[in-house]
Amino acid sequence: MMHKKIIGIAVAAALAAPLAVQADVTLSGAIQGEIGSVELAGADRKTISTDNTGTISGGGGPNMLRFDMSEDLGGGLKALARADWAFNTTQGADSNNFSNREKYLGFGSSSGAYFRMGRIQGAYKTATKIDPFYGTGAQMRMGGGESAGNAFTHSGFVDNAFEAGFNNHGFKVALQGVFDELSGMDGSYLADVEYGNDMFTVFGAYANKADDNTDDTANWKVGGLFNYAGATLGLQYEDAEMGADYMGAPEGQFISLSAKYAIDKVILGAWVGSFIEGSDNDNERTDDLGDVSDDISNIGDNLADFGDSMSYSLGAIYLFGKRTLVYAAYHSTDSDAKGPLGDDNTYDWNAFAAGVRHSF
C-alpha cells in the first residue's frame, strides 16, 4: 500500500511540475482572415484574400502566436522574455508561416522601469496609434497616412537592439539602440515619449537609422488622442526621410486625422491623411538624371514627377465579444505622383476590405 502511495505521489508531482513552470508562461495572439477587392493604378478591379503580409494593402497584419515568460526574482524584480511568430491564414507555404517577430529577454521592476535586449519592435512603431483600422486593408500604414518601409518606421523589427524604458503613472518612455558593429547599423537609435490618461494621450517618437552604406536617415512624429463620451479624435504629424518612397517621393511629411465613435458594440471609424513631398525631392530628381540638356532634364522631371497625395479610409467594426470582431471598410489614395512613363495613376488605389479577427 505504501509503495502505491509513493508511486501516486511521484506521478502527481511529475504532472504538477510542468504546470508550475507554465504558470509563468502566457500564451496570446490573434488570428485574422480578410477578403476584399483592389483597384490599383487604374487597372481592372481584382478580388483578393489575405496575402502573406496579413492585409490586402501590405505592411503587416495582426496574425501572431506569442509566448511571454516571467519569473519573480523578489524585491519587485522580474525576469522577462518573449518569443512570437507571424503566420498566414490563407497560404500553406512555409515561407509565409511562423516568420520571426520579437525574440527578447530582460528584466522589469514593480516601479515600471525595465531593460531588454534582442529582436524588438521599434519604439517608433509601437508609439500610440491613432489609426482605427490598424492591421487591416484600410490601415494608415501602407495606406498613405504614415510612413512605412523598414524596421525603423512602421514595418518590422529592430535586430541586435537594447531597450531601456519606464511605463507607469501614465508616463511611457522607451529608448532603443543598436550597438553591434557587425550589423551594418551600429549607432542607430529610437525613442518614444508619451503621457496619457482617460481623457487624452500625447506622444512623440524619433528614429535614426545609421547605415554603413548610406548617410544616416531619420523620422520623427508627434500626435495625440482625445476621448470624450464614446468618441475618440486623433491627430498626427510625421516628417519622414524613410518609408515615404512608397508614395512616390524619397521623403516628405504626413498629416493625419482620425475619428471613431462607439455605439454599444458598433465602432464607426475614419481617417484622412495628406502627404506633402519633401522640399529636397526636386533636386534629387534632377541629380538622378545626370548631365543632360535642359530640355531632356525637364522631360525627365515630368516623367518621374513626385507629388502630394490625399488618402482616407472609413468603415465600421462590430464587437461580437471581448475577443472576436468583424469589420468592413473602404480605402482610397489619390496621388499626384507620376510613374516612369508619365502615368499619373501609378500611386492611386482604392480597396474594399472585410474581415474577422479573433484574439486570445
Rounded mean pLDDT, 253-279: 94
**Separation in Å, CA 317 to CA 142, 187, 320:** 20, 42, 10
pTM score above 0.75 = yes
20: in domain: no
234: in domain: yes
Q: What is the pLDDT of residues 316-342, one digit of tens each?
A: 999 999 999 999 999 999 988 776 666
> Residue 219 pairs with which residues in a beta bridge?
207, 240
Residue 248 has pLDDT above 90, yes or no: no
Task: Compute the radius of gyration of the chain from its Cα atoms.
Answer: 24
Please report the pLDDT score of residue 151 as a whole number: 86
CATH of the domain at 170: 2.40.160.10
5: in domain: no
9: in domain: no
Q: State the chain's mean pLDDT as an integer.
A: 83
Residue 39 has pLDDT above 60, yes or no: yes
Residue of 139 and 304 predicted with greater confidence? 139
Please report the pLDDT score of residue 9 as a whole number: 35
- Give the domain range for residue 78: 28-359
Please report the pLDDT score of residue 270 as a whole number: 98
Alpha-carbon dihedral angle through residues 257, 262, 266, 270, given to the nearest 10 degrees: -10
Amino acid at 156: G
In the structure, what pLDDT confidence band is assigned to residue 252 with cuts at 50, 70 and 90?
very high
Residue 126 φ then ψ, to 5°: -85, 0
22: in domain: no
259: in domain: yes
Q: What is the pLDDT of residues 95-121, one digit of tens each?
A: 667 888 999 999 999 999 999 999 999
**Spatial distance between the Cα atoms of 357 and 324, rounded to a whole number of angstroms:** 6
Please report the pLDDT score of residue 357 as a whole number: 94
Residue of 93 and 217 predicted with greater confidence? 217
254: in domain: yes
**Spatial distance between the Cα atoms of 246 and 250, rounded to a whole number of angstroms:** 8
Q: What domain count does the chain have?
A: 1
125: in domain: yes
Residue of 296 and 253 predicted with greater confidence? 253
